[in-house]
Amino acid sequence: MLIRSISGVRGLVKTDLLPETCAAYAAAVHTMFPDGVIMIGRDTRPQENIYRMQWWKYS
């Protein structure tokens, strides 16, 4: 189950939270703040790299 809230998005890696999901959120945030700096929280799990690369496509 993908959980969306004011504080972010959560889900099981490669089940609910797919790289494409991150790409869609990144694109949406980029349209709202095209010239601003956006900070992204993350942890040290190995899967984090998959999702970080999706965000960087839009930076």
Residue 59: is its pLDDT beyond 70? no
Could you read off the pLDDT of 20-34 as tens digits, one per residue? 887 788 788 888 888
Q: Hey, where are the domains in the chain?
A: 3-56
Mean pLDDT on 3-26: 83
CA–CA distance from 36 to each of 3, 7, 11, 22, 51 (Å)?
26, 19, 27, 19, 20
pTM, whole model, 2 decimals? 0.61
